[in-house]
Amino acid sequence: MHFAVDALGKPLRMILSAGQVADIECAHDLIADMPCASLVADKGYDANALVMSIEASGAQAVIPPRSNRIAPRHYDRCAYRARNLIERFFNRIKHYRRIATRYDKLACSYMAFVRIVCAVISYRYM
């Protein structure tokens, strides 16, 4: 599951992918046409093409460089602390056992329950 959340930790967009798919492959679809001032992500989203597309849209890319980068990029460490919002959001979702263990066989039924849980979480933490 890939999520984009706002500054308050409320879900804006979600994409379901297979477990073996890298995070970076879903990133362009996840952030397409999403207006924001800065985009905070983890090291799995560290790619030159993604950072350049984020900066071309007028947003600041707050993505720490991977340890194997030859020339590490600079990023705003204070802004990166806001990444705990997405981690807390995933923690709230995992409280629902049906999502955490993925009992559903079909992706459409799994995503339907994820959407219901997102609505409940958004309503609860208004």
pLDDT, one tens digit per residue, over 50-99 is 999 999 989 999 999 999 989 888 999 999 998 998 899 999 999 999 89
Asked if 24 and 44 touch (Cβ cutoff 8 Å), the reply is: yes
- CATH number for the domain spanning 30: value is 3.30.420
Confidence band for 34, pLDDT divided at 50, 70 and 90: confident
- Whether the pLDDT of residue 23 is over 90: the answer is no
> Which residues touch 110 (CB under 8 Å, ≥6 apart)?
16, 99, 102, 104
Domain with 33, as residue range(s), is 2-124
* Burial class, 46, CB count within 10 angstroms (exposed 0-12 / middle 13-18 / buried 19+): buried
Predicted local confidence at residue 126, as pLDDT: 67
Domain count, the chain: 1
Which amino acid, 82?
A
Question: Which residue shows structure tokens 């923690």?
Answer: 91
